Amino acid sequence: MNIVTLLPFIVLIGAMFLMTRSAKKKQQAAAQMRDDMQPGTGVRTIGGMYATVKEVHDDTVLLEVAPGVHALYAKNAVGAVLEDEEYNRIVHGDGDLALDTPVVPDDASSLTGSTDPDAGDVARIDLGKKPEADEADAAGKADAAGKADEAGDEAKDRKTDGEGDAK
- Residue 82's nearest CA partner among 106, 50, 118, 114 is 50
Residues 101 and 80: their CA atoms lie apart, in Å, by: 28
Domains by residue range for the chain, with CATH: 3-95 (2.30.30)
Q: Could you report the per-residue pLDDT of 1-49, keeping only the tens digit for each?
A: 688 888 888 899 999 888 888 888 888 888 888 877 889 989 999 999 9
Q: How distant, in Å, are the alpha carbons of 33, 59, 79, 107 from that of 40?
A: 15, 18, 16, 44
DSSP 162: T
Q: Could you report the per-residue pLDDT of 80-104, keeping only the tens digit for each?
A: 888 888 888 888 786 655 556 666 6
Which DSSP string do the residues of 107-119 spell out, in sequence order? Answer: SSHHHH--S-TTG
- How much is the pTM? 0.46
Q: Could you report the per-residue pLDDT of 105-164, keeping only the tens digit for each?
A: 666 666 666 555 555 555 677 787 777 877 777 777 766 666 655 555 555 556 666 666
- CA-only gyration radius of the chain, Å: 36
Q: What are phi and psi of 50, to 5 degrees?
A: -95, 135
